Every structure is written in structure tokens, then in C-alpha cells.
Amino acid sequence: MNDETPMRRPEMQAAAATPMMAQYIEIKTANPDSLLFYRMGDFYELFFDDAEVASRALGITLTKRGKHQGDDIPMCGVPVHAADDYLQKLIGLGHRVAVCEQMEDPAEAKKRGSKSVVRRDVIRLVTPGTITEEKLLDPAESNYLMALGRVKGGEGESLALAWIDISTGAFRVAATGADRLLADILRIDPRELIVAEPVYHEAGLRPVFDVLGRTASPQPANLFDSASAEMRLTRFYEVATLEGFGHFSRAELSAVSGIIAYVEKTQKAERPPLGRPERDAEGASLFIDAATRANLELARTLSGNREGSLLKAIDRTVTGAGKRLLAERLMSPLTDPGHIRERLDAVSFFLADPSLREAARALLKGVPDFARALSRLALNRGGPRDLGALAAGFSAAAGIADLFETPDLPAEVAGIRDVVRALPYGIAAHLERALADELPLLKRDGGFVRAGYDAELDEMRALRDQSRRVIAGMERDLIEETGIRSLKIRHNNVLGYYIEVTANNAQALNGSDEAKARFIHRQTMANAMRFTTTELAEMETKIANAAARALTIELAVFDALQKEAVDAAAAIRAAADALAMADVSTALATLAEAENYCRPQVDESLDFHIEGGRHPVVEQALRKQLAEPFVANDCDLSPVGDEKSGAIWLLTGPNMGGKSTFLRQNALIVVMAQMGSFVPAAEARIGMVDRLFSRVGASDDLARGRSTFMVEMVETAAILNQAGERALVILDEIGRGTATFDGLSIAWAAVEYLHEQNRCRALFATHFHEMTALSEKLPRLANVTMRVKEFDGEVVFLHEVGRGAADRSYGVQVARLAGLPHAVVERAREVLHQLEEGEMSGKASKLIDDLPLFSIAMKKEPAKAKAPDRLGEELATVNPDELTPREALDMLYRLKGIASKG
């Protein structure tokens, strides 16, 4: 339920409501935080506050049904067959939904008495982190549910995160800390974070949950009990001991316990095929804090769009699983150079063999999302097409295994081959034999078992289909017998098969005693009457039995195939992961070839040497929108001489010169290299970066009472307090949000601290040109600038980085390019000249005397020659030879008037 919408629970005595409403209120009381989808026939109905909330959220009509305690009961409903569409919208708005189904046939309920209510129960809680339906999931994004575990002890507080994707079975766990909690959560980007109620309201962690908003939700503390975690895990995985799972800390067990308990709570009797929890080793991924992740626009731009992000620019994958894995690698780059080299080896392998790469991609294009299909089958939410997805996945896996038979495979590619070889291909053969070529969405529709697979099924189908022809024959015979050309034999779920004639022709079927004996009246309509016969009733029984028996056989086949697949869940899930890896490696090779990327060298050194580096997103945008080449630039932050720490580049230069692009491109090259991708450069040698910090751009946080400058200082403080010698720090315009001398002082001190204390590799862009003097006393600091040329009073931005320092920022020129009024630009030039002459050293009063306020506005603007232009236009239309004396005089007066107005 949306936190902003408090649930108004109807209080009542059992005798004060109808039996159905009493049942509804009882079920609703047990699920107070969810909208209750209460099944009534072909609709899910919502009542009371749930109806009002759903009506607003879904844009559906709010009606009324009866009264409760004297008041009308608000009500709305959605059709069962379209429920997924409505669920998608509600989940997207942050609501949770309890799905309540009819657990028995209404006919069974009637046997208990006329007032008996059909037994109903909640079969599932639908939440953002637990959805599995194909229509509700984005194929390109993982759908993580995350739990936070917290344990307090003698050594202080310890925190851990556990996260699963219930749609694929992925299960991970990692230790974290209060200082990096938000960064670790955003790295995974869960759709839902569950937290023990006391932890959720703890003051020290509230800022994290405030940032996450509706994503975070409090849950009962008993779900996170680390003491009972082992029992919960052994029961879920049906094992006797956890010794084979590895060792987990108490905080990790708390998080794992919470997430398993929540899955059991939401999935009720069903058990998703989760893999065993795997630990993310501490420091195994590049630490990127929340501000840096936003500034670099890795997966989304600052406005929340995928278009314009790094992920969008580098994505060449062809499967949903591949897109998710690419995003996961991008969000969690590695810090182990050996593992990075393994990924790069796989990309190099596919880059060197284009024919093999394209053959693999052709196979992968036909691979459906069979990991998610398997999960739906395990939860009894799957259909025939999910079985078909498994069959297609097996087929692609077999093809990949054959392709990767070449000798001397890189380790990652060989691992892919070994995993897909190990698939139980007997299941694939069984699926191929059993499934028809065209599969329905729902198993209840039947028709998904291939002809020839089951002899009895073929017999029942033949009887069913033959009976249809018999019905058509009976209709022809009756038309000939009665002479009623409009007579039809039809079928519906209420009457079954019936004979229908118009009201005008009904006399022929019930006019005589003989006719009445044969044609039994069933129903009278406004313009028609319906009858049946003994022969038709007998045929209907045969047809119904044959059709029902055929469907029963098909459902039994489905159950057998489903069980066979779920029993092999671990192998199938591993194969799905392997094919995703193949997709990512071939996609990155395709990207490297198309964009002319190079293989980076990543090692344990502190080097940072980029030749011809480019911004991967801006480069593609320039080519696409302006057909212009990107200006490549070098960057070398490697240790200088005998120094054992990286260098700092102090970057000066004009606005619009490309400073921010240069800063970001070097950070993105690090991310791409350590995720295992080739990079946009001619050459790249990178000593492994363990922490990446970027402070580029200005923003405020008014909701938390922070100005733009305060946000800048908070983010800068986080960088200076956390960056070590292996960090890469990108800082842009520190100190610009306050007075000039204040800002210069802060920026000056920050650079000194980076140099002496953090001793990290850094790029520091500034307009405080006075800071270039620091290069004389800081040996690892070098001055670089964005080059410009001035020609005939115009500024040309070259977007080139070169050694040296800028002496001007060219802000006035940029203001002119932006379209500021001419008077403002000229006034700015004059003020700038006086400021540069006096350098503002105690000469403010003289400056005011020399430049009276808005003095530029009192100067006459250059004449715009409007009158001469109008005179010229008027004269151009005149032919003196054709003017009468009167017309000539009128013309003369008119021209004089125009001239006087000018």
C-alpha cells in the first residue's frame, strides 16, 4: 500500500454485514498494507478505501455495492483476463497487491447451504521486487528485491545486504557499512528494499531511506532474526546443514533470513528456484558513490532517461539476459586485474574472429528469456510458451557448444562452452517431441501438445473434431426437415448446444404435439427461440467428454514437462547465465570494432595513461546529430619520476571549451576498462582504481535544506575523507558557489589535501587561475588547459587539452554566444576591463566612479537605419512615368512622414 494513503479499515460485527463482505473484511484485515484483488467470477473487485485508491490510480469508474454501517460501499473492479495490465500500473506507482482467488467451485459452496460463501484466500502478494510476469518485467533490467540486515554487538554495528531476482533465481549477499550503504544499494538498484521496522526508523540511517523513497519499506523485525536464519534456510533449500553454503556473518544471515522470509510471505505455498546465496567479496567491485554514479550518467541521465547514458551508448546485446548482465557489469566494475583480463580475453577472441562472432550472435538472437520462463514454471505461473522458451534456449545452447569447439579458447569462453555442454539435453528432446509448433499463452486453452505424442490424446481430439462435423451435418438435416433456412445450431457456456430459430419460425418447432415432443423448448429471446433435441443432447455429452478428456491429458503432459524442467533448474539457470555472458562478450567485441576502441591494459600499478581518449556518449552523439568528429585528448596521471603516488592535473580554460567532457571521459574509460570492455582511446594503461569519485555539475537538495553550494561541499567532503592512493578523483569548479576569495581558498586547500593526504590520481578543473601557481610547490601537480584561438574578435574552441595554464575564461564571449543583449555584453566587457586593470584591490569606489551604473545603457545604440530602409522599399515600388500630379503629391507627403518617424 502506498505510504501516503492510510488504510481506513471498516470495523464491524460479523452479523452486521453480508457473509461475502464479512469474508472480504476478514481477508483485508490480514493484509492491511496491500490493495486486495478479491476474485468474484471474471473480475477482481476492490472495496472501501482500496476501491478509491485503485479508481484514482487506474482511471477506472468508482461504483457502489450495498451498504456497510449505513454508508455506501465504494467498489471498482478489473477483468481477470486483463489483470496484468492493471497490476503493472499499480506496481509502478509503488502499491502492493494481495491477489485473493476463489479456492472452490461455486457449486461446491452451494452444497453447504444457500447462503454459503465460496471459499477464498490470498494466494500471492504482488510487490515491486517479487513480480515474475513477462508483461510486468522490463527484459533489459534486473528486478531485484533487497534486504538489509543489521546486528549490534560488542564490536559495534555491522550491516549486510542480500538481494535476489526472483524472476531469474540470482541470489547474492555482501557486507556493507553505514558510510557506503547508499552507494552499495544504488549499485544494485533494487526495485524494493525491505528493512526491519526498528532499523527503518533509526535516525542514523533515515537519510538513506529518505533518498530511496518508496523503494524502502519496513517489515516486522522477526523476519530478520539471525538466530533462526539457519533453520529458515535449511527448510527453504531442503538441506540438513548449511556447511556447503560457506560462512556468513550474523549481519549477512540477518539479511538472508529477511529476504527468504519475505519470499515465503509473498509467494505463499510456491517456492521460486533461487540459487544458493553467493557472497560478493569485500572490495571486489569498484566503489562508486551515489553522487558520482549520478554525475557520470552510467545507466540513466540526470533526468532519468536511458537515452544519453553510457549503458545505452555501449549496448550491442541481442538478448534480455545479456542486457541485464551488461548493466550489472557496468554498475559493478571489477578490481581484480586477473578477472578483468579474463573478460578482455573473451572480447579479444570474438573481435579477432568476426565470422564466429556473427554466427554466435545469430544463434543468440533467437534465445528467449528462458531463465525467467523457468522461474514462472517453478511458481506455477507458467504456460506452454514458457516451455517453448526452454526448448529454444536448449537449442541455442547446443549451437553455441558446437561453435565453441575451436582449440585454445579463452578461459571465459571455455567456461561458457563447458556449462552449456552440461545441460540435460534429454529434456530438450522431450520438449521437442511433446510441444506443438504454435503454442497458446495459457495451458487451459489446450492445443499445445504435438499430434502423435500421446495416442489417447489423438483419439480424443479426433472424436472432438469429428463431432464438430457431425453438428454441422445435424444442422443441415434439420434445415431440410423443417424448411427453416435460418435455423442454426449454436453453443454457449450456459445452455451448451441448442437450436436457434427466429420468433417467426418458432411455430414450426412447437406448434404441434409431435413437434413439441421432439423439440424441447430451452429459452425465449426478444427475436428468437431456442430448443434442443434428445439427439443433440447426446451428441453434446460425447463432445464435452472428448474435449474435457483431451484437455485433461494435455494438462497432465504440461505438469510432467514442468516438473522435469524445474528438477533441472540449477543446470538450466547456469546455461542461461552462460548464454548471457556469450551475448555480452560478443556485443562488446561488436562495439569495439564499430567504434574503433582499444584493449586497455589494467594492472596493479598506479599508472593512468590514456592516448587519444574520447567520450563514448558524446562521440556517438556528435557523429549522429552533427556528423562531426570528436576531438581526442591524452591524459597522463601516472606517478611522476620517483614519486609513488599518481599525478594531479589542474585544468583551466574557457567555458564551452570541453573541460567537463574531458573530465567525464577519463572516468568513463576507467569504468569501461574495469568492467571488461575495450575503451574509446588509441591506447590505455590503467593501474587498477579501487574508488572512483566525480563531482561535476551543480545541483541543490532543497528537500533536505541544502543549497547548491552546501551539496557541493558535502560531496567534496566525502571525497576528501574517503579517497586513497588507488582512487581516481574528478573535481570540477570546486568553490564556485560562494564569494570569490572563499571559493578560491577552499579549492586551493582541497588541491593541497589531495596532493599531500589522499595522494590519489586526480583531475581538478577550475576557473581560479591563481591556483596554477601551485605547480611550483606541488611536484605531482601539472597545469593543463583547454586550447582556444582568437580570430578577428571571435573565440574558436579547439577542445584540445595541452600543457600550460589559461589566463582568461572567455565568459563574456560565451555570454554573447548565448544571446545576451548587446548592451549587456558591451557593459560586461567594460566592467571586466576595469576589474582586470584594478584587480579589485581596494578600488571598488573608483570602479563605481569610472563605471556609473548602467552607463552603457546611456550610450546611443548604433543607428539601425530603419527609416532609410522603409524609404527605399517605398521608392522601389514607384514608377514616376505612371504617376498623375495628384498621386505624385500624395507620394511626396507619404515619404516625408516616413522620414520624420525615422
pLDDT in tens, 695-725: 886 554 444 556 677 888 888 888 999 999 9
Question: Are 758 and 646 in the same domain?
Answer: yes
CA proximity to 809, closest of 657, 697, 649: 657
Q: Give the model's pLDDT for residue 792.
A: 64
Q: Give the model's pLDDT for residue 793.
A: 62
Q: What is the DSSP letter of 314?
A: H
Do the domain assignments include residue 80?
A: yes
Phi-psi region of 446 (alpha: psi -120 to 50; beta: other; left: phi over 0): left
CA proximity to 614, closest of 630, 636, 625: 630
In whole angstroms, give the CA distance from residue 223 to residue 255.
9
Q: What sign has the CA pseudo-torsion 21, 22, 27, 32? A: positive
Residues at the annotated binding site for ATP?
Answer: 653-660
Question: Are 190 and 112 in the same domain?
Answer: no
Task: Give the confidence band of 10 by pLDDT, cuts at 50, 70, 90.
Answer: very low
Residues at the annotated binding site?
Answer: 653-660
- Check whether 840 has a pLDDT greater than 70: no
Who has greater pLDDT, 58 or 870?
A: 58
Question: Are 116 and 142 in the same domain?
Answer: no
The pairing of strands 97-102 and 120-126 is: antiparallel
Q: Give the model's pLDDT for residue 134.
A: 86
Backbone angles phi, psi at 126, to 5 degrees: -95, 115
In whole angstroms, give the CA distance from residue 158 to residue 179.
11
Q: Are 731 and 765 in contact (CB under 8 A)?
A: yes
> Which whole number is the average pLDDT over 645-661?
86
> Which whole number is the average pLDDT over 830-849?
58
- Check whether 188 has a pLDDT greater than 60: yes
In whole angstroms, give the CA distance from residue 607 to residue 605.
6
- Range from 1-15, 345-359, 780-794 that averages highest in pLDDT: 345-359
Q: Are 301 and 310 in contact (CB under 8 A)?
A: no
Angle at 70 between CA 66 and CA 75, to 5 degrees: 35
Residue where a domain terminates, one of 126, 161, 177: 126
Q: What is the DSSP letter of 625?
A: I
Do the domain assignments include residue 227?
A: yes
Backbone angles phi, psi at 800, to 5 degrees: -110, 140
Q: Locate cell 495459457: which residue? A: 442
Alpha helices in 756-884 (DSSP H): 811-818, 822-838, 844-850, 855-858, 866-876
> Which whole number is the average pLDDT over 517-539?
89
Q: Locate cell 474435457: which residue? A: 548
Question: Are 60 and 19 in the same domain?
Answer: yes
Q: Which pTM does this prediction carry?
A: 0.82
Backbone angles phi, psi at 469, to 5 degrees: -70, -35
Q: Locate cell 478505501: which residue? A: 49
Q: Give the model's pLDDT for residue 791.
A: 66
Question: Are 628 and 737 in the same domain?
Answer: yes
> Which whole number is the average pLDDT over 53-57?
93
- Amino acid letter, residue 681: A
**Lowest mean pLDDT across 36-40, 243-247, 441-445, 497-501:** 243-247
In whole angstroms, give the CA distance from residue 326 to residue 584.
6
Task: Give the confidence band of 768 by pLDDT, cuts at 50, 70, 90.
Answer: confident
- What is the layout of strands, in order, in the sheet containing 648-652? 287-288, 691-695, 728-732, 761-765, 648-652, 781-791, 794-803
- Check whether 851 has a pLDDT greater than 80: no
CA of 546: how far to CAs of 472, 542, 543, 833, in Å?
Answer: 17, 6, 5, 97
In whole angstroms, give the CA distance from residue 421 to residue 402.
9
- What is the layout of strands, in order, in the sheet containing 496-502? 488-492, 496-502, 528-532, 520-524
Q: How many structural domains comprise the chain?
A: 7
- Check whether 331 has a pLDDT greater than 50: yes
Question: Are 638 and 781 in the same domain?
Answer: yes
- Check whether 852 has a pLDDT greater than 70: no
Question: Are 705 and 635 in the same domain?
Answer: yes
Tell me whether residue 637 is exposed, middle or buried, using C-beta atoms within 10 angstroms of its C-beta: 0 to 12, 13 to 18, 19 or more.
Answer: buried
Tens-place pLDDT, residues 239-279: 888 888 888 899 999 999 999 999 999 998 888 989 999 99
Question: Are 852 and 874 in the same domain?
Answer: no
CATH of the domain at 35: 3.40.1170.10
Helix pair 250-267, 229-237: axis angle to 10 deg: 50
Provide the mean pLDDT of the chain: 86
Who has greater pLDDT, 347 or 843?
A: 347
CATH of the domain at 773: 3.40.50.300
Q: Give the model's pLDDT for residue 858.
A: 43
3-state secondary structure of 532: strand
Q: Are 6 and 32 in contact (CB under 8 A)?
A: no
Cα atoms found within 13 Å of the Cα of residue 216, Cβ hemisphere only: 19
Backbone angles phi, psi at 557, to 5 degrees: -65, -45
Cβ burial 345-368 (10 Å sphere, 16+ → b, else e): bbbbbbbeeeebbebbbebbeebb
Do the domain assignments include residue 540?
A: yes
Question: Are 404 and 471 in the same domain?
Answer: no
In whole angstroms, give the CA distance from residue 789 to residue 468.
86
Question: Are 724 and 621 in the same domain?
Answer: yes
What is the helix (H) or strand (E) element at residue 586, kind and residue range?
A: helix 569-595
> Which whole number is the average pLDDT over 383-397?
94
> Which whole number is the average pLDDT over 870-892?
72
In whole angstroms, give the CA distance from residue 111 to residue 589.
67
> Which whole number is the average pLDDT over 392-420?
93
Q: Give the model's pLDDT for residue 900.
A: 62
Q: Give the model's pLDDT for residue 698.
A: 57
Residues 6+ apart with CB under 8 A from 611: 634, 681, 682, 683, 684
Do the domain assignments include residue 766?
A: yes
In whole angstroms, give the CA distance from residue 367 to residue 157.
46
Do the domain assignments include residue 230?
A: yes
Task: Give the confidence band of 4 by pLDDT, cuts at 50, 70, 90.
Answer: very low
**Lowest mean pLDDT across 5-19, 131-145, 254-268:** 5-19
Do the domain assignments include residue 449?
A: no
Q: Give the model's pLDDT for residue 8.
A: 43
Q: Tell me which residue range forms the domain holding 852.
A: 820-858
Task: Give the confidence band of 2 by pLDDT, cuts at 50, 70, 90.
Answer: very low
Do the domain assignments include residue 290?
A: no
- Check whether 357 has a pLDDT greater than 80: yes
DSSP state string for 696-723: -S---BGGGTB-HHHHHHHHHHHHHHH-
CA proximity to 671, closest of 311, 377, 231, 348: 311
CA of 224: how far to CAs of 124, 165, 259, 284, in Å?
Answer: 21, 19, 8, 26
Alpha helices in 64-196 (DSSP H): 83-92, 106-111, 181-188
CATH of the domain at 145: 3.30.420.110
Q: Give the model's pLDDT for residue 864.
A: 46
Q: Locate cell 527605399: which residue? A: 872
Q: Give the model's pLDDT for residue 848.
A: 46
Q: How many residues does the chain have?
A: 902
| Residue 665, all three cell numbers | 571521459
In whole angstroms, give the CA distance from residue 37 to residue 18.
19
Residues 6+ apart with CB under 8 A from 494: none
Angle at 206 between CA 201 and CA 208, to 5 degrees: 140
Do the domain assignments include residue 7?
A: no
CA of 834: how far to CAs of 639, 811, 902, in Å?
Answer: 42, 15, 36
Who has greater pLDDT, 69 or 215?
A: 215
Q: Give the model's pLDDT for residue 433.
A: 95
Question: Are 113 and 172 in the same domain?
Answer: no
Q: Are 566 and 377 in contact (CB under 8 A)?
A: yes
In whole angstroms, give the CA distance from residue 588 to residue 582.
10
CATH of the domain at 517: 1.10.1420.10
Question: Are 655 and 748 in the same domain?
Answer: yes
- Check whether 600 has a pLDDT greater than 90: yes
Q: Give the model's pLDDT for residue 855.
A: 46
- Check whether 773 has a pLDDT greater than 80: yes
Who has greater pLDDT, 640 or 656?
A: 640
In whole angstroms, give the CA distance from residue 62 to residue 53.
10
3-state secondary structure of 241: coil
